Structure 1
């Protein structure tokens, strides 16, 4: 008889856990996986996928307004939240079923219930069933951080925002990170009055300051209000049936929905990791080495639960590398330099590599090239919003250290630029590349 029930048992069926399960099974491992919510994890069920679909839906407001300049007459424009919401939720279910089919096709046994760790090789399901596994992979992801204040239980997080029964005409959002600003853009474009409150005056920490300043300028012009240095201190129901949200010492703001988007933390509470000698970090993260192994030789972790880089593609890479290393005879690790990222705000921004300040601190002697331009689409639509692209270059080697962009379709353009930064190409390589005209992307090779 086999020494263990499973070669690998995965806790958490998000993108990283499912990828690790599938690849491990393809290497011949007997794999089990448990998920207490829905298969697909944060990205598929309550994160980037449904949020991007809402972004697409909200773009039609701008496109329809601009249509007349292109010769179109659009009459009787009307937005119905329930139609968009339900279409998004149906697609979430479709993708969830595709994930389940992937597990089934690879003969991965899946359990739709919570699992906890009972020791270096032990797993217990919520139903009471217990299993043993040679290796355990924790891929439980992250969960919204919810500050506690009077009336905080009346607020929602990004987990609930996709299920709103009616469209909120007034939205207060606490936080100024990517989740907060993406939802601010969505609700603003769809016609809601949006107020963003934040404990500091900084938005999108980690992104180039020039891009953040440009986004702030544009979104304020679009009607989003900001109240800085005043996080919410109180939320209460009003006699009229809506909410009164009090930021700091300011007067209350009337709202139909108050959304808390103050970050996410690793979802490790109650997993039983202490039974395997694993001590969590200050944010609740599992400390792992370059190959995703914890201090317990039989327990690994990938994705947001490690608090390295909280991005779905990173979790997928980590899960794949783990499976190849442990079960495929190909020991390898994930590279974390030159990871591209995007904020699907309106307009969106995207970046890869070092910001100007990071590059200056690390290399000292740098050059910064920029293009501040009005996209052709905005000119024709009589919009005055301007795009901004930046190249950060090592002055000694001419190597491009970072690319930063804000403007229409910035994330789509950035992916190609990320390859160039990853490959170590120089500013001269950019200059030698013929421009694709007319396009916004050509600005990347025209900076002098």
Structure 2
């Protein structure tokens, strides 16, 4: 028994995971009518594994990295089934996953896309139970992430979006929207954009808890890695610029974004934001339609000549001296030194120990203050670039003389 569905798996250096993924997809009951792997020019053993171990799977090599959206669109064009299903190569699905994913599309014509429950590999920790788009920041949030699955998300619900790691839609819907927007290159936010377009067309996005799979998450670039953060925020900005005008960005998004930088963003995230802001600022100033993150977009936390900043020097000195302790009195005869130091400890314990502790507490507080000042400086740098980016965007859209 089969379902008239085409499962599309886009790979990019996924040799470590693709075998387990395809084994689970081939064990689906009912099975898909089509299963295609689109490889975005992997440099590892992905192609060798698929060709040698899974000859029954249609395998397509693009010859270049088309990005996730480009790979999915390529796979959709090569198939003809009624339903299109996206599955990440680090996904392991349960046997009924496909049937449960397609069922709502067969039952309700107002459903535009369906996503299921994703768990981490331990099988009990939730990764995704539908997505919420947090405005005005445009931050995508996976419901339930990090929670133990205790049935708290076991109801069918409409959501803002479902992850592109595992979702299904009708081919007619896919084609009416021209598939995924390949401007979201190489990855992230293409499914948020697709679901936004579905909702604007009057269709609902449905989360079903019955379609269950486990997922590694971020296997291509590393979850929360520097590259992940850069790509995530780069395409988050693309999403915001696509759907919101300059007035809303200036009056609503800008203050919220600045607040996020100051209060919530980690040092790694601030670094990624600075790179993304600079990339768009450069693109707007040069009237480029396709901004890119360049290898030149780096912000070393040091002076121009490669040395430490003043705050870095102070922080290094404090780290080396943050804890002080009473020094023992040296003696030529060890037993005599032990007696003298023992007597001194007894005699001064109630007086010296509190003083030493107070000094250590003060040193620790001073170190924290210097670290906070360093972070504020990095946050200030990011907000300057943020405002410069929006100014460049507004100038880019001014009427030409």
TM-score higher than 0.5 here? Answer: no
TM-score (norm 2): 0.23
TM-score (norm 1): 0.21
More helix by share: 2
More strand by share: 1
